[in-house]
Structure formats: structure tokens, C-alpha cells
Amino acid sequence: MSSTYGTVFKISTFGESHGPGIGVIIDGCPAGLAFDTDFIQQELTRRKPGQSRITTQRREADEFEVLSGVFEGQTQGTPIALLIRNTDQRSKDYGHIAQQFRPSHADYTYQVKYGSRDYRGGGRSSARETAARVAAGAVAKLLLRQQGVQIQAYVSQVGTLKLGKAYTEMNLALAEENAVRCPDPETAERMFQYIDDVRKQGDSVGGVVDCVATGVPVGWGEPVFDKLHAELGKAMLSINAVKGFEYGSGFAGVEQLGSTHNDEFYIEAGAGSEPGRVRTKTNQSGGIQGGISNGEDIYFRTAFKPVATIMQDQDSVDVNGDPVTVSGKGRHDPCVVPRAVPIVEAMAALVLADMYLRNKLARV
């Protein structure tokens, strides 16, 4: 039951890393949305493997087929099923782990929970599943664009190397112009070297992805349990390798006093005859108050651990409980954050699209 996300804009993903393919059903996308297949393909391409020497060398075209829900270029209000065939599985790379538990992978927990597991490439626990999220997230982005919402994520930290600039100080569009997806070109270059050095050592390293959503109107998000930031948090934490989430002032906000942390309101004068707009002087709230968007930029940060697969020997045990040495094989990213950028955006889009639709239900 846990491969489904969303309340109204609801997605169900399926597929294993080395099975016939992966895909997603979107059940709850409203009718009448122009279905831009080029855009969806472009988003998948941003996530696909083999983009540079610091990403996995698995070669997947990640082309998708629309199985249902679209007619004459428009969504029909019926389930949209998207299928991405797997084409470059090398399952034999995984024969050696059929009986072994790779450290800090899901091998052991899946085996105990389910009594068996598709060990080829991690099966369902593989990050390959996120391609389906990116496809669905692209549809969510199309819906959000109509509402004037834009989402942009970028890499703000690799290992100990931090970007050290607020998002407001940079042109975030530059993130797409380098392999690391850091909007500061100089830092991006240093991050690339950092990751490449780690790769050469057969090791891996963590990183942080920041994300900003602009244009979200006041009122999106639900009180109590489904607060906008709670759903964003769950969505981010559901991405493979994520260890932490914070929004607005985050963990650093803890150290402040209320008198400096509070975001005071003021009226921004409207242009011409337009009425003024309620704004906040600062934005420690990260655009969310009481779980509901307040019209300011929404921003948050997501921490990714070092990828568990490394090209080094590690101690472990096998399914019989005997000690073994696990050797790194397969094709993997030494650092997940460059390819995580579109995934973070996709999950943010899915949350926001759901909240946009749910907000239609707030008043009689």
C-alpha cells in the first residue's frame, strides 16, 4: 500500500530496477491540462543516468510511453499511466549479492520483512524508482505552471564543501548549466572535482539539495497533520538516501529568540489601482505559517547521505548469518545530489499540486 502518494493528485509507482520497466499511474489529475510530452521527457532526461563521469554509467534512454489518460493532447480526468522500459539492466552484476547483505542498503530489511527480495540492482529499493516520480512530477509541474508556480532546486553542499550563499543572491537557472547543478559556477567546478576525487577512490560522499518554490499563493497546505511543510518533509524523506529536512530557518532557527525570528507583516503597496498585498519583512517562516503557504517564497533543504555502494571491500553477513566480504560492483553514482535535483523538484511539485487541488475544497 505504500507505493502511493498524494490525497487528490495521487500517484502509484511500480517497477524494479532490473524488471521489464518502471512506471506510474496518476489518478486525480484534472481534465483539460495540456499534456506536454516534450517537457516530461526533458525532466526525465535531467534525472537519467550517464550524464557525466560523476554519475552512474548505466545507459538508460528513459523514454516513456503514455498508456492512458491523454486524448487529443489533453488530460481527460482519467488515470494517466506512464511506462518507462528498462533497457540496460546488467543483472549478472548482482549475482554476488543474491546471498549477501550490502551495508547500509535495504537488502537485509527487505529480506526479513518479505522473506525474499529481488536482489538485482536493489529491486524495488533502487533509486531507479524515482524516474517514475520525475515523470509524474513533470505532470504536476505542468499543472502548477498554470497557477504561476515555479520550482527550482540546486546543490548547495557536497561533503564538507558548502555553497554559502542564500538563494536570493544567485541566478538559480545557472544550476542547469553544469554537471553538479550548483548555481554558482565556481563552486560548481570545485564540487565537480570533489566528487570526481571521491569517485576515483572508489568512495562516495553526501550532499545537500536546496529547493525554492515561487509564486505559491496564500492558502495552500492543510492544518494539523498534513501541513504543507510536513508533506514536503515526508516527500523528501521518501527519496532514497535522504537523512534530513528543514524549511525556512530550520535547525539554525532554534538558536534565535522570538523577537528576531518572527516575520513581521507589512503592506506592500499595489501597482496603480491594485490593492496592497500582505507581505512579511523577513521570511524565516520559509513561506509557510501554521502549515499553510503565506505567499512568500517557500524554501527548504534536504540532506543526502553518501551513496551506500562503494567500490571497496566491506564486512557483512549473508542470508545464512555467515560473515562475508562484500565487494563493490555495479554502476553507481559517487554522489547522488546532482541527479537528486530533479527528483527533489518532482516531489515538491507533487506535494504542491496536491495542495493546490485540496485548497479548492476549503470553502463553500
Task: Write the DSSP string, 211-237.
Answer: EEEE-PPTT-S-SGGG-HHHHHHHHHH
- Interaction pattern, residues 180-219, with a copy of itself; x per rule: CB under 8 A: ------------------x----xxxxxx---------xx
Is 244 one of the binding residues for a copy of itself (CB under 8 A)?
Answer: yes
Closest CB 169 distance from a copy of itself, rounded Å: 21
Measured CA to CA, the distance from residue 41 to residue 24 in angstroms comes to 14
Quickly count: other Cβ atoms within 10 Å of residue 262's Cβ.
14
Q: Is 72 exposed, middle or buried (0-12, 13-18, 19+ CB in 10 A)?
A: exposed
**Encoded amino acid at 161, one letter:** L
224 vs 271, which CB is nearer to a copy of itself?
Answer: 224
Cell numbers at 68, concatenated: 492512458
Among 38, 171, 258, 271, binds a copy of itself (CB under 8 A): 258
**Encoded amino acid at 97, one letter:** I
Is 41 one of the binding residues for a copy of itself (CB under 8 A)?
Answer: no
5 vs 167, which CB is nearer to a copy of itself?
Answer: 5
177 vs 197, which CB is nearer to a copy of itself?
Answer: 197
Among 41, 61, 103, 196, binds a copy of itself (CB under 8 A): 103
Measured CA to CA, the distance from residue 310 to residue 343 in angstroms comes to 22
- In sign, the C-alpha dihedral spanning 107, 112, 114, 117 is positive
User: SS3 of 331, please?
Assistant: coil
Among 31, 87, 165, 200, binds a copy of itself (CB under 8 A): 31
124 assigned ligand-binding residue: yes
Place of cell 566528487: 195
The footprint of a copy of itself on this chain (CB under 8 A) covers a number of residues equal to 151
Is 121 one of the binding residues for a copy of itself (CB under 8 A)?
Answer: no
Is 310 one of the binding residues for a copy of itself (CB under 8 A)?
Answer: yes
CB 102 within 8 A of CB 311: no
Among 92, 171, 186, 224, binds a copy of itself (CB under 8 A): 224
Among 42, 87, 256, 327, binds a copy of itself (CB under 8 A): 256
Among 55, 56, 152, 316, binds a copy of itself (CB under 8 A): 316
240 assigned ligand-binding residue: yes
3 assigned ligand-binding residue: no
The torsion defined by the Cα of 247, 229, 357 and 142, in degrees rounded to 10, comes to 30
Sequence ranges of the binding site for NADP(+): 47, 53
